[in-house]
Amino acid sequence: MDFKSVLTREELVALSLRSIYASHGYTQYRMSKFEEYDLYAKNKDFLVSDNIITFTDTDGRLLALKPDVTLSIIKNDRDSEGIKKLYYNENVYRPSRGTRSFRELMQVGLECMGEVGETEIAEVILLAKMSLDAISPDNVLEISHLDIVSGVLSAFNISEEGRGRIYTYLAAKNERGIESVCEEEGLAPENTALVTRLATLYGEPGRVLPELSAFCLNDGIRAAVDSLSRVLTSLEAGGVRGISLDFSLLSDMSYYNGIAIKGFVSGIPTGVLSGGQYDRLMKKMNRKSRAVGFAVYLDEISKLSCLGE
């Protein structure tokens, strides 16, 4: 039977992603459609939207239709020795951007948990890139390292409030905005220029990595730069192309740390893949292990016309 004539583009992509993940030793994680509401209420900022569909179970407990998969996986999984590699293909329930009413969205993604090191991180980046390739050949995988950005801001003793504003401006590549906050914080002109440079620092790793030595203000930042550089060099040696560094890529620093990734496909106006390391979220949920993962948003893919055929 010809599945291609029966399945939608989203379903076909989901199938190929699942086989990619399975071939790299990831096993499928299945979960219930419902979860205790409390889990999401405690970690609201981690979610894309605060709006959650809730209902009362027969015994009076407040349940929610899951808006997110990562939190459920962490909650339902015990800390264990070694590395655990899981992937999922689940429906999540979130309000859509335009209509503000709830929609059922198909999400495929993977999580690598446990003693996560550079090898695992590099593999997750590789799988993210392969996922994008499965959607469309015309794609870019963007990478940032949050510890470099937050390290630079701490090294200059920028206040909590100032940091928040700089993150907002940095995410918008708004150089003027970053400059004004740095000036208010009393930074020397050369330091202001260094922080502002983060907004325009993007491009191929080969071009951007050598520039990072200017940001190594202390051992912490140097360690992050070295680690990023090793991960990217190993990927490059493995023949992975189409990766771009961009330090304006940020995620919520109370959950994420280290490497952040985001994937774009030409023709889709928003990112289709998003993820990174989330050791801080693990810690918040009392897990000892580290973790890295990403999710692919398949709902956007239907906007692509007849690709990959």
Residues making contact with other proteins (CB under 8 A): 138, 140, 142, 172-174, 176-177, 202-203, 244, 248, 264-266, 268-271
Q: How far is the CB of 222 from other proteins (least distance, A)?
A: 28
Q: Which is nearer to other proteins, 110 or 132 (CB)?
A: 132
Q: How far is the CB of 246 from other proteins (least distance, A)?
A: 8
Q: Which is nearer to other proteins, 28 or 266 (CB)?
A: 266
Q: Which is nearer to other proteins, 151 or 205 (CB)?
A: 205
Q: How far is the CB of 148 from other proteins (least distance, A)?
A: 20
Q: Which is nearer to other proteins, 144 or 289 (CB)?
A: 144
Q: Which is nearer to other proteins, 196 or 248 (CB)?
A: 248
* Beta pairing partners, 107: 90, 297
Q: How far is the CB of 271 from other proteins (least distance, A)?
A: 7
Q: Which is nearer to other proteins, 73 or 268 (CB)?
A: 268
Handedness of CA 230, 247, 108, 5 (dihedral sign): negative
Q: How far is the CB of 305 from other proteins (least distance, A)?
A: 14
The residue to which tokens 């998969």 are assigned: 69
- Rounded CA-CA distance 61/117 in Å is 39
CA torsion, points 144, 171, 194, 203, in degrees to nearest 10? 50
CA neighbours within 13 Å on the CB side: how many for 279? 14
Q: Which is nearer to other proteins, 216 or 259 (CB)?
A: 259
- Rounded CA-CA distance 144/166 in Å is 16
User: What is the identity of the amino acid at 182?
Assistant: C
User: What is the identity of the amino acid at 111?
Assistant: E
CA neighbours within 13 Å on the CB side: how many for 178? 24
Q: How far is the CB of 268 from other proteins (least distance, A)?
A: 6
Nearest residue to 297 (alpha-carbon basis) of 144, 91, 124 = 91
User: What is the CA 222 to chain-centroid distance, rounded?
Assistant: 22
Write the burial class of residue 101 (CB in 10 Å: 0-12 exposed, 13-18 middle, 19+ buried): exposed
Q: How far is the CB of 227 from other proteins (least distance, A)?
A: 24
Q: How far is the CB of 196 from other proteins (least distance, A)?
A: 13
Q: Which is nearer to other proteins, 116 or 245 (CB)?
A: 245
User: What is the identity of the amino acid at 36?
Assistant: E
- Rounded CA-CA distance 153/182 in Å is 10
Could you count the other beta carbons within 10 Å of the beta carbon of residue 152? 22
